[in-house]
């Protein structure tokens, strides 16, 4: 009897165990469904896509925009940023047609300067202010580098606006205001903008070839953003005006006549006389010298000299001395009598700064370097690997030479 009861209890236990496992399985499935239900989703307002808001794997990454709750795979971070936060002008690559369009680069530079005002909350912000702000506030992964063709996005803007063109553009630390065009740098500081400004960055900066930035407004903004910027049109008009003044000066010098009857009243302006007037005066002096010498020889045959002959001898000796001193002038005198050189536009670079200036001599170039870069001290000027001497003629350096300023060790 006891064995029979024990056998029945064991059979009852084997029947209850499957039922308990079935109940546990149902409860486990319910918990999984509840956990899936607890997973948050966020509907992006611009693209309308539903994105996750929690991390599920090691490859998941949060959106770099601080106020955005979206979590995506690391390969989809850039896709999400351009779908939701950035317009197409911040793309890494652009078509060849756009890269050859100067107005497109001017438009992107305009966007950089406008966002710089928004970020720093300064109406007259400079490139240095923007770079300092980005180095302090932006965060870019250490593994991020700008290499190869990606640098063209920054380099084209810098060349178009006269900003310093670096051999390598760095995102950490930032070394150029054009680095704001990089999507990683911009998304890391978007939370400093107002919601309206963020909407402009996402949708309002698309390039329209029919509506480029106004040249006057762009030049004014760039003048305060990059203080050493020089307007090319103003330089060219100033050069034309200077050439007209020099032509008028030459014509006035050619009309002037030099009277040789009274040598003591002759005045020479060695710094302003041009070559044509100098050669004219030399020929005139030689002719007068021959006439006076012939008259002196005729008077020597006579035994008695009148007072007029004595005056002629004295005048002849003075004129001969003056003519001999001008027949073979020294090199320094020739250099001083040459017409002034036409002003040349040069690009001056010192460290991370760069400026454009209009100079006509090495003296003016040293003066510009001293005024623009007072902290440089004693420096040497180098053009294409060659140290420039004080006697260098700018006509030999070509069109718009690049001058590098190096401090003497």
pTM above 0.85, yes or no: no
Is residue 14 pLDDT above 90, yes or no? no
Read off the pLDDT of each residue in 353-357 and give the average, rounded to a whole number: 78
* 168: three-class secondary structure by DSSP: coil
- Using one digit for the tens of pLDDT, what is the confidence trace for 240-250? 555 565 556 55
- Using alpha carbons, list the distances in angstroms from residue 395 to 126, 193, 346, 360: 34, 50, 11, 9
- Using one digit for the tens of pLDDT, what is the confidence trace for 265-304? 444 444 443 444 444 455 555 565 555 555 555 555 454 4
Read off the pLDDT of each residue in 81-109 and give the average, rounded to a whole number: 91
- Using one digit for the tens of pLDDT, what is the confidence trace for 329-341? 444 444 444 444 5
Q: Is 192 left (phi over 0), alpha (psi -120 to 50) or beta?
A: alpha
Which residues, 6+ apart, have CB-to-CB distance to 197 below 8 Å?
Answer: 118
Residue scoring higher pLDDT (106 or 319): 106
Q: Is 120 exposed, middle or buried (0-12, 13-18, 19+ CB in 10 A)?
A: middle
Residue scoring higher pLDDT (50 or 347): 50
288 near 261, Cβ under 8 Å?
no
Q: CB neighbours (10 Å) of residue 51?
A: 20
Which residues, 6+ apart, have CB-to-CB distance to 157 below 8 Å?
Answer: 105, 108, 109, 112, 163, 178, 181
Q: Is 82 exposed, middle or buried (0-12, 13-18, 19+ CB in 10 A)?
A: middle
Q: What is the pLDDT of residue 184?
A: 92
Q: CB neighbours (10 Å) of residue 218?
A: 18
129 near 122, Cβ under 8 Å?
yes
Q: What is the pLDDT of residue 404?
A: 82
Give the DSSP H or E segment for 69. none
* 40: three-class secondary structure by DSSP: coil
Cα gap 64→378, rounded to integer Å = 47
Q: Is 30 exposed, middle or buried (0-12, 13-18, 19+ CB in 10 A)?
A: exposed
Q: What is the pLDDT of residue 176?
A: 92
């Amino acid at each position: 009897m006891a064995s029979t009861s024990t056998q029945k209890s064991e059979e009852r236990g084997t029947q209850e165990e499957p039922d308990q496992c079935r109940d546990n399985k149902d409860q486990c499935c319910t918990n999984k469904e509840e956990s899936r239900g607890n997973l948050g989703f966020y509907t992006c307002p611009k693209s309308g896509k539903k994105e996750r808001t929690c991390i599920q794997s090691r490859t998941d990454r949060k959106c770099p925009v601080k106020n955005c709750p979206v979590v995506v795979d690391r390969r989809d971070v850039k896709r999400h940023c351009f779908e939701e936060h950035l317009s197409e002008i911040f793309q890494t690559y652009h078509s060849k047609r756009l890269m050859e369009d100067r107005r497109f680069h001017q438009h992107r530079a305009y966007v950089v300067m406008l966002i710089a005002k928004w970020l720093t909350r300064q109406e007259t912000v400079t490139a240095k202010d923007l770079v300092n702000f980005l180095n302090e506030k932006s965060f870019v992964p250490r593994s991020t580098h700008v290499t190869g063709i990606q640098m063209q996005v920054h380099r084209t803007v810098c060349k178009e606006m006269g900003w310093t063109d670096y051999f390598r553009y760095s995102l950490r630390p930032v070394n150029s205001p054009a680095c704001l065009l990089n999507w990683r740098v911009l998304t890391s500081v978007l939370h400093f903008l107002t919601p309206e400004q963020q909407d402009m960055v996402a949708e309002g900066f698309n390039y329209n070839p029919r509506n480029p930035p106004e040249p006057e407004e762009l030049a004014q903004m760039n003048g305060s953003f990059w203080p050493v910027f020089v307007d090319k049109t103003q330089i060219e008009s100033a050069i034309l005006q200077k050439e007209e003044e020099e032509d008028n000066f030459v014509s006035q010098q050619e009309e002037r006549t030099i009277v040789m009857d009274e040598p003591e009243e002759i005045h020479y302006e060695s710094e302003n006389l041009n070559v044509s007037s100098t050669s004219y005066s030399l020929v005139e002096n030689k002719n007068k010298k021959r006439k006076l010498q012939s008259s002196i020889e005729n008077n020597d045959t006579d035994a008695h000299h009148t007072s007029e002959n004595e005056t002629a001898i004295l005048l002849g000796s003075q004129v001969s001395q003056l003519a001999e001193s001008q027949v073979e002038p020294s090199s320094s005198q020739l250099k001083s009598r040459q017409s002034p050189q036409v002003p040349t536009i040069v690009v001056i670079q010192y460290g991370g700064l760069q400026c454009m200036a209009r100079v006509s001599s090495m003296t003016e170039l040293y003066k510009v370097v001293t005024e623009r870069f007072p902290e440089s001290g004693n420096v040497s000027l180098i053009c294409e690997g060659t140290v420039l001497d004080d006697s260098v003629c700018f006509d030999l350096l070509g069109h718009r030479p690049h001058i590098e300023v190096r401090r003497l060790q």
